[in-house]
Amino acid sequence: MLIKNITNDIIHIGINDRTTDLFEGMYRIDNGVAYNSYVILDEKIAVTDTVDCKFGNEWLNALDKVLQGKTPDYLVVNHMEPDHSANIARFAQKYANAKIVGNAKTFAMIQAFFGTDFADRRVVVTDGETLSLGKHSLTFTFAPMVHWPEVMVAFDSADGVLFSADAFGKFGDHDAVEPWTDEARRYYYGIVGKFGMPVQTLLKKLGGLAVKTICPLHGPILTENLGEYIGLYDKWSKYQPEIDGVLIAYTSVYGNTKKAAELLKSELDGKGVTAKLVDLARTEFSFSLTDAFTHSKLVIATTTYNGDIFTAAREFIDHIKERNYQNRLVGIIENGSWAATAAKQIKERLEKCKGITFTETTVSVKSSLDENSIEAIKTLANELSNK
Ligand code: FEO
C-alpha cells in the first residue's frame, strides 16, 4: 500500500497487486498491476474510485489513515470496471452519509453490479458539469469507450490535476522498476486499442486544460514531461507506427517456416531495414500485437493447419483485427506440404481492415525452402525495402 500526497490536499492511495496472474483474465503481468484511488481533502471530502475486490480491506484501512477521523462526502465513480468499482457497496455501507457521484450510465451499471442504484444518495452529473468541494472543484468530461461506455475523467482546476480513469495507465505495480512506455503501450493496445477514435475525442476535449498532473487508475502518477505521454497517446490512438520497419510474425511446426522468416530478416538486415522476428506460438499475444501496431510493416509467415491458418497466427490476426489494425503494408510467407490456403485466408481476414495493402510478392514454401522460395523471399525483401 502506498499513501502519498500529490498536492497539499490531494492524496494518492495506491494498491500493489502481485497476486493476479492474468489481468482481465488474459494479459500477462509479470510485474503485477497497481490500482489507484485518490482523496481530495477540502470543505467537502471526495474520494475518487475504489480498487479491486481482493484489496477492499487494505483500501478501506488506507482511507481511514488519510481521513484521520473525518468522513467523506462523496465517492466519485469515474469507471465501473470491477478493478476500480468493486468496493462501492462497502464504502457506501461504511460511510452512510456519503453521496455517490456518477453519470446516468454509471448508475445503470451500479444497479447491475450491486442490485441498487443508490437512488436516495446519488449525484448524477452531466458532461462538463462541475462539483464544488470548496477550494477545489471537479469538472467531469465524459469519455465513453475509454474504455467502457460510462467512463468519465475529472479535472481539478485548483491544482491542475486530471483524474484520467484508464487513460495513461500501465501494467506493473508501484514497485516495478521499469520505464513507463513499454508497459503503458502494451496496456494501451491490449485494452484500449480498439477505441482509437474515442481516445482522440477525449484528447481534443482536454486540449485546453492546464494539466500539471495526471492521476490514472493504474500505474504511476505523471508529473513531468506530460507532453511526451500525451503525444504517445495521440500517436497510438491514430494507429500510427513508431518504428519504420518490418515485424516478421511467424509460426513454425518443424522449423522450415522459421528458416524462411529468418532468411527474410537477414535479407532485410542486409539492406539496412529494421526488422524484428516474433515467434507467435512462444510470445504472449499482447506483446506480439503491440509489436504489430508499433511497426510500419508486417509479414506473417505461417502454415495451413486443419484447413485453416495455424492457430497461433490465426489468433494473432484476430487480436490485431479486433483492435482496428489499419494503414499498414502486409506481406505473407505461407508454407504447406499440400493444399496450402493460409495466404488466401490471411488476405481474406485482413482485407476488411482499413488501409491495408498487400505486397505484390506472396511467398509460397512447399515444405522447405528451395531455389524458387529463396528467390521469392529476396524479391519480398526488395519490395519491403523500397516501400
Ligand atoms: Fe482498469 Fe477499464 O479498468
Q: What is the pLDDT of residues 359-372, one digit of tens each?
A: 999 999 999 999 99
Confidence of residue 223 (pLDDT cuts 50, 70, 90): very high
Are 312 and 258 spatial neighbours (Cβ–Cβ below 8 Å)? Answer: no
- Ligand 1 centroid from CA 283, angstroms: 24
| For range 41-50, the mean pLDDT | 98
Please give the backbone phi and psi of residue 302, each rounded to the nearest 5 degrees, phi first: -160, 180
For residue 39, the CA-to-ligand 1 centroid distance in Å is: 19
CA distance 214 to 216: 6
In angstroms, the first-to-last Cα distance of the chain is 51
Give the chain's radius of gyration (CA, Å): 24
Distances (CA, A) of 195 to 147, 190, 238, 291, 356: 7, 11, 10, 18, 18
Tens-place pLDDT, residues 262-273:
999 999 999 999
Q: Tell me: pLDDT of 12 over 90.
A: yes
In the predicted model, what is the mean pLDDT of residues 3-8? Answer: 98
pLDDT at 292: 98
pLDDT value at 177 more than 80: yes
Cell numbers standing for residue 214: 495526471
Residue 378 binned pLDDT confidence (cut-offs 50, 70, 90): very high
How remote is the CA of residue 88 from the centroid of ligand 1, in Å? 15
Å from CA of 349 to ligand 1 middle: 29
- Burial of 44 per CB tally in 10 Å (0-12, 13-18, 19+): middle
Distance CA 285, CA 313 (A): 10
347 C-alpha to ligand 1 centroid (Å): 33
pLDDT attached to residue 232: 98
* Ligand 1 center to 334 CA (angstroms): 38
Distance CA 51, CA 360 (A): 51
Q: How far is the CA of 270 from the centre of ligand 1 (A)?
A: 43
DSSP state of 206: H
* CA nearest ligand 1 atom 3, residue: 81
Contacts of 319 (CB under 8 A, 6+ apart): 285, 288, 289
Give percent of the chain with pLDDT exceeding 70. Answer: 100
Name the band, by pLDDT with cuts 50, 70 and 90, for residue 91: very high
Distance 330 CA to ligand 1 centre (A): 32
Q: What is the pLDDT of residue 387?
A: 77
Q: How far is the CA of 356 from the centre of ligand 1 (A)?
A: 30
pLDDT for res 347: 98
Reported for 87-91, long-range contacts at CB under 8 A and 24+ positions apart, including other chains, are 87/50, 87/51, 87/53, 87/56, 87/59, 87/60, 88/50, 88/113, 88/114, 89/114, 89/116, 90/50, 90/56, 90/60, 91/47, 91/50, 91/60
The DSSP output letter for 98 is P
* pLDDT range class, residue 295, cuts 50, 70, 90: very high
What is the pLDDT, as a whole number, of residue 1? Answer: 83
Residues with CB under 6 A from ligand 1: 79, 81, 83-84, 147-148, 166, 217-218
pLDDT, tens only, 61-85: 999 999 999 999 999 999 999 999 9
> pTM, whole model, 2 decimals?
0.96
Please give the Cα distance from 283 to 305 (Å, whole number): 19
CB atoms within 10 A of CB 100: 22
Taking residues 4-32, what's their average pLDDT?
97
Give the number of the atom of ligand 1 that is nearest the alpha carbon of residue 191.
2
